[in-house]
Each structure stands twice: as C-alpha cells, then as structure tokens.
Structure 1
Amino acid sequence: MLRALSTITPSPADEHDPALTTREAAALLGISVSTAQKWIEGGAVESWKTPGGHRRMRRKAVLRLLEERTAMASAAPDTATHELRPLSSPTYAVAPSEAARLRAVGRTGLLDTDAEPTFDRITRLAAIMAGTPFSAISLLTATRQWFKSRQGIEACETSRDVAFCNQVVVTEQLVVVEDARDDPRFRDNPAVTGEPYVRFYAGCPLHAPDGLVVGTLCVFDRTPRRLDSTQLECLRALAEIAEDEIRLYMVERGRR
C-alpha cells in the first residue's frame, strides 16, 4: 500500500501546493536529505518521479507528515513508569526541563528495545573516528542510563548517578573530558576510581523531535586523550544522524 502511494501520478500543477524536491522536503521536516529519501522511498509521503528520475512531492503532503510527527511527539508515552517521572530527591544534577525531558524519552519508544544495525553502525563509526575502545548511544531515565547501542561495553545500562552523560543532558552541550582524574566533576566518580577506570570522555546531546535532550552519543577510553576539531565535528555529525534515526523510528512506530 505505502509503496503504491510512493509512485502515484502527479496531480495537476497548483500554485498553492507546489511540488518540492527531496532537499526542500527535508528542510521542511527538519531532517537530513538521506533520511528524507528513506521516508519518501518507504511511502511515508506521497511522491512521484519526474521524467529525469527525480522524486517530487506536494508541499501539503509533506506538511501532513510534519503535523503527524508533531502530534506524535506531543502525545503521552505509552507506558508511564516510575523511571519516566522525576525523582523527588535525585542524587544527580537535573535541568529545569527534567519532567518534560523524561516524557520525551518515553515517547521515543526506544527504551529496552533490541539492538539495531542502524544505531550500531553509528557507534561503531564513532569509536573508529575517535580511536576509542568504547562508544554508546544512551538514553537517560530518572534512574538509569540505558544503552540503545554500545561498543566495547558489556553492561546494557548503569545507574544515572554515575553517568558522565548526565552532564551532557543537564548542559545540553557537547562535553569533553580529557582526563577525568583532573576534572572535579568526575574525579571521584566510581567509574573513574574503579572499573572501567574512565579517563577520557566526549558526549554529544541527542535531541527528540521536540528539541528536548533524551540522551547522548558518547565515546570514552581508559587513557587520557584529546580530540581535534575535525574529530569533534565528526562526533556532532554522527549525533545528527542518530537523531534522524530516532525520528525515523518514531514515525515508523507511529504509522504501525
């Protein structure tokens, strides 16, 4: 059905509903061109091919998809568990938006789902780019840091109060720690004073469609190190790809 919709015959030209290119549709949806191509080829929005083989779609059809995605992002989570509500007395720092942020984590639908190649490719590339043995895509609830994807890490989660990624969630910024032993925020952390003896860490925020930070893409190592500007830019770019995959997961889940 969806595949059939993706190859419909174009309707007559309408100055009030212009045809968009894939790049224009991506800009309207706030996603990358590659993700827009996946959505369009998968039939998420009605489209057709020009004689030259280029995809086109009506602006109103793209806006309908945007409205659907926005409505899904503002809906209540399927399961309101205790870990998606702020703790009354947390032992870690929280941002003023913590309650809304936790609801956004629930809306992703990703918590406790199986590993997926799309996310694993991102963490694998992040580790290669940074030259680190460890990397992860994490989601932070009120009680834990859960890894949707991980490289070099045996545990599937940690408690939130020891999570380096919490600093990323609170500041909503890229956090780089070249040697945790010299950083007053982390030098007494059990993950620094004991296994896995973290020294280096770099984490980039991952945003839900509504802009709230739900987790991180991070790399870390047992050895102090420094990332150059190119590596940091690559980490940010990979985080943007991860955000696109989260959006895609949410849209596909909402259409089932």
Structure 2
Amino acid sequence: MMGPLTADNISFTYPRPGFRRKRPAGTLHNISLHLSPGTSTALVGSSGSGKSTLVRILLALAKPDAGTVTLGARAVRPGPVRSLRWYRQAVQYIPQNPAGSLDPRMSVAQLLREPLRQLWVEGNHRSLVADALERVELPAGLMESRPGELSGGQNQRVAIARAMAVRPAYLLADEPVSGLDLPLRDNVLSLLGRLVREEGLGLLLVTHDLGTAARLCATTAVLSQGRIVEHAPTHQVLENPGSPEAAALVRASSALQFPCHAPAGVL
C-alpha cells in the first residue's frame, strides 16, 4: 500500500512587486496536512485563502520557501518530467473546469491514453482506458466522442476517468462540482465517495463550500489567510466551529439547508 502524502510546515510567499504592503493572496504559513489511502479530507477556504497555492505545491508545480512534501518516505519537489513520473502516477489532479482541461480535438479514448503514454504506464492501454471508463460508470460507446459532444456531467466523469486511468493512490480534486447542477453534483460526489471507499484512494477535496465537504469528507481543514485555523471532523466543524473563520463559512454554507450526516462509510 502506498504511504501517506504529507505536507510538513509548508510556507510560501509570492514575490512582491514594488513596495506593496498588503500580503499577496496565496501566501502560506506553516501548513501541515496528512493524507492517507482510503480517507477523504476537505480543504475549505474562501477565495484568496491559499488553497490553489497549496495544491500547486502538493502537485510539485511550485517549490515552497520552507517545509517539505513527502509521499511515503520519499521527498517530492519540482523537477524535470522524468524525475516526477513516479509521483505524477501516484498523485493525480481533477480540475475545476473539465471543459478547459480536455482538448476538444481529442476523443475520449485519446484523452485517457495521453497520461498513460506520458507517464510510461505499463500494460495494455486500451484495456486500461476501458477499465477507467467503467469505473466512472461511462459507457464504452463514448470512447470516440469528443468533449463538445458530451454533457457537463459526462465531461467531469471523463476528467475523473483520465486521472484514474494511471491507477493513482491519491486524487486532488479542485472544486470538482462547482459548475454542475444539483443532480449532477450529487452523482459526481457519490462517485468520488465510492472510489475512496471501494478502491482505497486518498482524496483531498478543495472547496469553498462546507456543504460539499459534509457530503464527502470525514475531516475538514479550514484555511484562512494562508493558515490552517481549524482541522477537525467535518461534523464538528459544522456543528461547533472552533474559529471565527470556520463559523463564517458555516453561515455561508449550503450545509445549513440540510441535516448533517457523516459521509457514507464513515462512523
């Protein structure tokens, strides 16, 4: 089994042009986060809190000023493509907007084969593509379709299948349902929950909405102005927030419109 994915005391500051006094958005201060296979964690915060910066560091797309990212016992840092193939296969990203990340000129089969080829994944790529589509409950008949011929929900499932094709240990999902209507949102969240429960994936769900976190994640880390101000079971954050920032997110969250339940499979 793959070891934990850990961010330990991560700090990061964007270069400041001129003499700006205001702290630039995305600054991080001593962030620590621990992800394990078969668990789901939400990273919740308002715009500018540093969520995207932390995800870029976890994806080895940006180097922190201080702190380390490790997968198991192995340190992770930005570098040449060849040095990161092992990590790109183990940790996959699901974007917020699949329409912007899926090449409209490519078929579904081509989109799913591309990371298999780039990461030198062994095995029969056609079989791996078919298996990935089956795991996200898309029919094999869509293999030759292009993104423009699919619905928003289907494109999001294609984006998830593309990540799943390389058989990763972890998924980093950036607002994966923000552009979907409620029924499609429920379907995608249910799919992600099933992948965590049944396939043992580790999931980091990045969102601004505690209601979405409550649907899927056992624990929630609240990020505000580059600091984790609360990290607790999601039901505890919702029912008894321990910081003003978490309380503000609770007030703004759609979670207040529904009863709070633990995610399926979480006691």
TM-score range with shorter-chain normalisation?
A: under 0.3
Q: Which has the larger radius of gyration?
A: 1
When normalised by structure 2's length, the TM-score is 0.26
Q: Which has the higher contact order (CA 8 A, sep 6+)?
A: 2
When normalised by structure 1's length, the TM-score is 0.27
